[in-house]
Amino acid sequence: MSGRYQEEHVIEMESEKYSASEMQIRQECIMKLQSYLNEHMKQVYEFSHDWVAKGNTDTTWLEEDFLVYVNNIEKESNTH
């Protein structure tokens, strides 16, 4: 199996988890947080997933909540 087939298959399976509107919100989340991708790529994707999973229907307060999320993760990692 080629890597390309596997990637396409994963993307297809991921999109089945979300409705079209949820996919749109997830995409908006990632676009709005793209300035953080270099330093916090994993967190951007995890946060965007959680944002949609929690039922958010827009990106109001997205960046503020993301910064709190990252700050909490950093605090946790500093206590261990």
> What residue ranges do the domains of the chain occupy?
3-79
The backbone region for 53, taken as left when phi is positive above 0, alpha when psi lies in -120 to 50, beta otherwise, is alpha
CA torsion 32→35→37→42, rounded to 10°? -50
Alpha carbons 43 and 45: distance in angstroms, whole number: 5
Q: How many CB atoms sit inside 10 A of residue 39's CB?
A: 9
Alpha carbons 35 and 19: distance in angstroms, whole number: 26
Enter the pTM of the model.
Answer: 0.75
Mind listing the pLDDT tens digit for each residue in 10-61? 444 455 667 899 999 999 999 999 999 999 999 999 999 999 999 999 999 9
More confident residue, 18 or 6: 18
